[in-house]
Amino acid sequence: MRRTLAAVLFVSAVFTSAAVAQGPFGQPSGFAVENTVLRRIWAIGMDSSQLLRLGQVLMDSLGPRLTASPGMEAAQNWLVATYTSWGIPARKEQYGTWRGWQRGKTHIDLVAPRARTLEATMLAWSPGTPRGRPVRAPVVPLPDVADSAAFVAWLPQAKGKLVLVSFPQPTCRPDDSGEKWGTQTTVDSLKARRTAAQQAWQQRVQRTGYTGPALTRRLEAAGAAGAISSGWSQGWGVQKIFGTQTERTPVVDVACEDYGLLWRLAQNNQGPVVELTAESQALGERPVYNVIAEIKGSELPNEYVMLSAHFDSWDGGSGATDNGTGSITMLEAVRILKLVYPAPRRTILVELWSGEEQGLNGSRAFVKDHPEIVTGLQALFNQDNGTGRIETMSASGFPDASASLARYLARVPADITRNIRFSFPGGPSGGGTDHASFVSCGAPGFGLGSGDWDYGRYTWHTNRDTYDKISFDDVKNNATLAAMLVYLASEDTVRISREKRNVFATTSSGQPGAWPECRDAQRVTPPLAPPPPPRP
């Protein structure tokens, strides 16, 4: 059930019988220190922000941070050095190993029937072209076969070819552009044709007997020179860039417009030939780490308040809004706290996780490896969804925690909180972002949800997730909020309740809902399974 912040504050007041002051730095009961610290957090966060500098180094100079890559290693070393320069003890803590890989350059040209340089990005963990040299090969579409036996019979024709393996979009114009400029008849016609074409494509793929990674693995086994995919993100010039499981055959994502060109040429037997250079280096299984910074508590050193964000990213862009912004939010917050609150009541930890994109591996491992911290956790605040101002919070399924969170928010300036919508008591997150690792194990972790800023379409896991997409005024707001929440949670004389809600909506399968399972991490790269045999 979603409520406005004002409604939640009213409910909280009923629960706690606390008289909440109405001013921007009101002083409700239950705190050990006066509000001078809040005023200093506000002043430094608003007037002396280091976010522009931190963001430029992280996104531009260091760049994307694929798990187990040299880029991630360099960025984590920079993290530790940055904390050290601020006088904050920090360390890298290994939680497992993962498949190491280093990206080189990707370049692809259409060389027949005409010349055109194409926009393309090699998928993460893809092998390169042999010895990094150009490969010139014909382009062929995934065949439209009757069944898996017919596909197997076709496979020898894939040898030495570049195979198109994604749905060719009828148009790369976003729907809202068509809706703005086209007639309703035109819009309806386009959507109907796209839907019909997508269904036909899904059936084409299913008839091969292979889907997903198994399809590219099967093409690899048949000797294909490469696979060309296209993960259009429904926006102008934007592609989703993920990974592949091939070991010898390069897989590249080609931009929607250029992919459509290749498809039409191939479908119409116009002889498309492409020259591809893809450079990469497989580095074997490598150690992977979380980075942990700590300001020791002066009164309750074995109780903890945590700032949290995932530091790893996909590497089609710079990992800016997923999750460079969350990372620099937490960096800036602890920098401010070190200046204005150097002897916190409880221990403050900053956790910048690795392996989130592979299944919350860094945070899940930490929860399993540090039961003493999970037991002593007062609150964790996590941010992981883009560059907008914090607009949503939830009690994560802890009904009585709402009272504590509302008391904290009541002391934060209205300029920060006026747009926050609070979900009371909310529900436990079972995945998706790192506070779920704590919540699933019964510890009070809370997500700080940002405004959209076209996150899903334009920056989440895309080739356009770069520095220029950051709204630094909003990230400044978020870092200030995070620092205030940590300070208030650290000073609180009341432990946040861990009582769980026990009423859940039924699942999509009709089963009763339940609290998510407390899970350990994947601590090594799963082995690549051989492609399954085709279905009869």
- 339 with 263, same domain? no
DSSP track, 194-240 = HHHHHHHHHHHHHHHT--THHHHHHHHHTTBSEEEE--B-SSTT-BB
- 440 with 368, same domain? yes
Q: What CATH number corresponds to the domain at position 375?
A: 3.40.630.10
Q: Left if phi > 0, otherwise alpha if psi is -120 to 50, otherwise beta: which for 395?
A: alpha
Residue 98's DSSP bridge partners are 286
Residue reference for tokens 């009585």? 400
Q: Considering the domain boundaries, does residue 159 fall inside one?
A: yes
Phi–psi pair at 246, nearest 5 degrees:
-75, 160
**C-alpha distances out from residue 36 to 25, 26, 33, 439, Å:** 9, 11, 8, 32
**371 lies in which domain range?**
2-18+25-99+285-491
Phi–psi pair at 296, nearest 5 degrees:
-70, 140
* More confident: 9 or 420: 420
Residue reference for tokens 């085709």? 534
pLDDT 10s digits, 411-446 = 999 999 989 999 989 999 888 999 999 999 999 999
Residue reference for tokens 């148009």? 171
Q: Say whether pLDDT at 18 is over 80.
A: no
What is the total count of domains within the chain?
2
pLDDT reported for residue 513: 86
Burial 163-202 (b: 16+ CB within 10 A, else e): bbbbbbbeebbbeeeeeeeeeeeeeeebeeeeeeeeeeee
Q: Considering the domain boundaries, does residue 43 fall inside one?
A: yes
Task: Kindly report the average pLDDT of the chain as a whole number.
Answer: 92
User: 90-112 and 377-383: which strand pairing?
Assistant: unpaired
pLDDT reported for residue 21: 36
Element housing 262 (H / E): helix 256-267
- 262 with 165, same domain? yes
pLDDT reported for residue 534: 56
- 365 with 459, same domain? yes
Residues 6+ apart with CB under 8 A from 82: 54, 331
- 439 with 386, same domain? yes
Residue 383's DSSP bridge partners are 448
> 28 and 21 in contact (C-beta within 8 Å)?
yes
Mean pLDDT across the stretch 298-319?
98
- 310 with 261, same domain? no
pLDDT reported for residue 531: 64
pLDDT reported for residue 430: 82
pLDDT 10s digits, 77-136 = 999 999 999 999 999 999 999 999 999 999 999 999 999 999 999 999 999 999 889 999
Element housing 136 (H / E): strand 135-141
Per-residue HEC secondary structure of 274-325 comes to EEEEEEEEEEEEEEEEEEEEEECCCCEEEEEEEEEEECCCCCCCCCHHHHHH
| Domain end marker among 220, 246, 271 | 271
Q: For the purposes of burial, counting CB atoms within 10 Å of the CB of 203, is it exposed (0-12), middle (13-18) or buried (19 or more)?
A: exposed
| Domain end marker among 245, 271, 297 | 271
Q: Considering the domain boundaries, does residue 508 fall inside one?
A: no
Q: Name which of 34-48, 96-110, 326-340 the model is least confident about.
A: 34-48
Supply 368's token pair.
């399993």
> 214 and 532 in contact (C-beta within 8 Å)?
yes
Please, which pLDDT band fits residue 535 given cuts at 50, 70 and 90? low
- Distance, CA of 397 to CA of 402 (rounded, Å): 9
Q: Say whether pLDDT at 26 is over 70.
A: no
> Could you tell me which of 109, 107, 113, 159 has the C-alpha nearest to residue 272?
113
- 303 with 176, same domain? no
Residues 6+ apart with CB under 8 A from 175: 187, 191, 234
Would you give the distance in Å from CA 188 to the centre of its chain? 33
In sign, the C-alpha dihedral spanning 120, 123, 129, 131 is positive
**C-alpha distances out from residue 329 to 61, 66, 67, Å:** 18, 20, 20
> 99 and 72 in contact (C-beta within 8 Å)?
no
- Distance, CA of 311 to CA of 330 (rounded, Å): 11
- The 3-state DSSP class for residue 64 equals coil
| Domain end marker among 459, 474, 491 | 491
pLDDT 10s digits, 486-511 = 999 999 999 999 999 988 888 778 88
pLDDT reported for residue 1: 37
Q: Considering the domain boundaries, does residue 497 fall inside one?
A: no
> Could you tell me which of 208, 249, 207, 209 has the C-alpha nearest to residue 528?
249
Please, which pLDDT band fits residue 22 given cuts at 50, 70 and 90? very low
Q: Say whether pLDDT at 10 is over 60.
A: no
pLDDT 10s digits, 349-399 = 999 999 999 999 999 999 999 999 999 999 999 999 999 999 999 999 999
Mean pLDDT across the stretch 129-153?
96
- Distance, CA of 230 to CA of 215 (rounded, Å): 15
* Crossing angle of the two packed helices 36-47 and 325-340, in degrees rounded to 10: 130
- 242 with 307, same domain? no
In sign, the C-alpha dihedral spanning 242, 244, 245, 247 is negative
**Rg for the chain, CA atoms, rounded:** 26
Q: What CATH number corresponds to the domain at position 200?
A: 3.50.30
Q: Considering the domain boundaries, does residue 441 fall inside one?
A: yes
Q: Considering the domain boundaries, does residue 530 fall inside one?
A: no
First CA to last CA across the chain, in angstroms?
48
Q: Considering the domain boundaries, does residue 446 fall inside one?
A: yes
For a pLDDT cut of 70, what percent of the chain falls above it?
A: 93
- Distance, CA of 74 to CA of 26 (rounded, Å): 43
Residue type present at position 397: G
Would you give the distance in Å from CA 264 to the centre of its chain? 34
- 51 with 142, same domain? no
In sign, the C-alpha dihedral spanning 267, 136, 207, 146 is positive
Q: Considering the domain boundaries, does residue 418 fall inside one?
A: yes
- 47 with 128, same domain? no
- 221 with 320, same domain? no
- 316 with 230, same domain? no
